[in-house]
Every structure is written in structure tokens, then in C-alpha cells.
Amino acid sequence: MAASLQLLQFKPLKPSLSFSLRRFTPLSCSGAPPPSKSPRSYTITLLPGDGIGPEVISVAKDVLLLAGSLEGIKYDFRERLIGGAALDATGVPLPDETLSAAKESDAVLLGAVGGYKWDNNEKHLKPETALLGLRKELQVFANLRPASVFPQLVDASTLKREVAEGVDLMVVRELTGGIYFGKPRGFDTNENGEEIGFNTEIYAAHEIDRIAHAAFKIARKRSGKLCSVDKANVLEASMLWRKRVTAIAQEYPDVELSHMYVDNASMQLIRNPKQFDTIVTNNIFGDILSDEASMITGSIGMLPSASLGASGPGLFEPIHGSAPDIAGQDKANPFATVLSAAMLLKYGLEEEKAAQRIENAVLDTLNRGFRTGDIYSTGTKLVGCKQLGEEIMKSVESNVPAGATV
């Protein structure tokens, strides 16, 4: 199954909903199963990883199974090791068996990687190396990170209600280039005998062009506004970025393009986040800005992501980390992973109805007042990860329409 960016079609936001994932519906994927394939069956690679990863993946798997059974879908789940768990078991963070399973699947659902236990490992033996390697091997170059404020959680935001209410933006982050992958990189000694560390921020024109095209297409079907974030007043790589994005804008006359330096963008996201609709930026800036944008919503535990390429399986994961401090304590918020599963269905498998069922279930569970500690407020019901999963399952089964009140 190919989670292809070029073949996405987008629907407008319904007035009763604020969740931006409802803007997107896949039209067709180049590896789509033949129409005669019934019941529909897909191979999903599950990568629980470290910390709270296994807890939230367990919930998402149950939700996928239920939503799938109700919509005539079957799955072949293949669970594999990644990150610290893989290091402990095999000595490497991304075993060949894991990579092969991911490449041969229809989609990949990841929990989280990393933890204090492996912080002092050499770079090639750090859990996070597995994530970078997986993205590169799957050739997923576009990371879509929505940041939408749920009306039920507007008071959970650290920003004033009037600032946070109505925020609905999308960060389109280039994922496989830039300083995280650029060479040369490493350690050396300078002319004074001091130890130095160095990295290279580098982009080729084709890398910028393909992420720009993806972002323009997304912006076209949202509000028609695209802000490209760079540091073109200092960095040559950003100068090329701005040059290429500006040139490509000529192909999208219906999209209003603006440019912003990353330091200003980081301030504007806090001062007036509603000015943004779609943001496109490089790997490192996107990494930082998308995490900043996530906190406008009230919790990083609410936000999913999709990483897509021109073909092949997509990679779907919550944007939160492994949270080792709360791992194994039934405190994790599984909403982001469940919503990542909905993105998997929508983008990776073209299963719109099942995805919609899960999205509706998340909204219904919030409407019924269930919260984990990170989004708890007076008057709501504090529950653990497992119970919240059970409540989501109830909502999946009842399939309460989005926007309905209980």
C-alpha cells in the first residue's frame, strides 16, 4: 500500500468540527488493493518501542481491531522491536528483521523510542538512531503534524482562551534532509587542540521542491495560506529554500505565500497562532516548531502525525516521546496514538469510514468527560490509559456522529 502524497484529495472543514484531520481524505494510492479483495486485509507493522510506547500501542491496536471489524477490515499485525527495546534484545536499535517487516507492510504504527537508560550510549547505539534510520529507509520525506485545539480542551492550553480558541494549523516538515542527515558530521580537533563537534545543514533543490509541492497542495485545500519558515538572513541552505519555494509558488496562484524567519515564527506561534494555517519548513525547524505548536492545544499527548513518501508504506506515530517517568504506571495519554491510527487508516489504507469512526470516538470520549492527567481539569473524570482505551472502544462501537453532544 502506497501512502502517496501526490494523490491526496482534501475536503473542507465541517462547521461543527475543529479537528483538522477532517480536512483530508485520500483519493487514491498507487498500491491500492484490487476492488475484488474482500474482506479487505492489510499487514500492519507495530513498533511499540520504549517507555509508554507499549501502553499506547496496545490501546491503538484494540481500537484498530474494533473499528476494522465494524467496517469489514482485517489486519495481520506484526509486532517488532525498535529503539531501546531492540538494543537490549539484539544489540542494535533497528534490527534488520524490523526494517524488513516495515518495508513489506501496508503501514507502520510506532509508539515511542528512547529513555534515560540509553542516554550515554554511543550515537549509533542510541534508540533515536532507529527512528531516523526507519524514516530514511521508508523514504518518507513529508511529516504532517496537525495542531488543532479541541473545543473540549481549550482551557487545558497554557495560553489565554482568546488566543488558543479556534487554532487549527498544520506543520509540514521536511523529514529526511537537512542537518539531521547532512554530511560531513562528526567530531574533530581544531587548530587550538580543542575538541569540536560539527554538523551540516544541506538541502538539494529536489528535496525542497517536493516538500514545497506537498505543502502547497495541502494549503490549497485548507484556507489557501502557506507560510514558509526559514533563516534566509543567515543560512545559505535557507536562502536556497526560500528561492525554490518562491519559484514553485508560481504554480499555485491560488495560494497566498508568505515567508517568516524561524525566530519570529516561534514568537508568533505564541503571540497569535491563529494567523497560521499551513506552515512548511525544514527538518530541524519543523521538529521544534511542531512541538511548540502542540502545546497550544493543551497537551502533546493529543497530537498524531503522518510521515509519507511518494510510494511505499507510511509511518504513523504520536509526536510525544517515550515519557520514561510515567512508563508502566497507567498514566499515559493514548489519544495521540489512537489518532495516529486514524491517520494510518485514512492516509495509508484509504479506509475513510473506519478512520472517521475512530475520530468520532475520540471526540465522543472527550465529550463524555474522560481525561488522563495531562489534560485533566476540574469537573472531568480522571482515568488511566487502560480505562481511557476502554471508553474510546465504547465510543467506536456506538459511532456517535462528530459534533453530537451527550
Other CB atoms within a 10 A radius of the CB of residue 378 amount to 5
Q: Which of 231, 277, 364, 374 is catalytic?
A: 231
Q: CA-based angle 33:111:318, to the nearest 5? A: 85
Q: Which of 62, 106, 168, 180 is catalytic?
A: 180
Q: Which of 117, 261, 274, 291 is catalytic?
A: 291
62 is catalytic: no
- The closest of 216, 236, 210, 217 to 228, measured between CA atoms, is 216
Burial 283-313 (b: 16+ CB within 10 A, else e): bbbbbebbbbbbbbbbbbbbbbbbbbbbbbb
96 is catalytic: no
CA 42 to chain centre: 21
188 is catalytic: no
- The closest of 266, 354, 297 to 73, measured between CA atoms, is 354
Pairwise CA distance, residues 299 & 164, whole Å: 12
End-to-end CA separation in angstroms for the chain? 37
CA dihedral 245→173→178→296, nearest 10 degrees, is 120
Pairwise CA distance, residues 230 & 249, whole Å: 16
263 is catalytic: yes
126 is catalytic: no
Q: Which of 188, 263, 325, 381 is catalytic?
A: 263
Q: Which of 50, 168, 287, 364 is catalytic?
A: 287
Which residues does the annotation mark as catalytic?
180, 231, 263, 287, 291
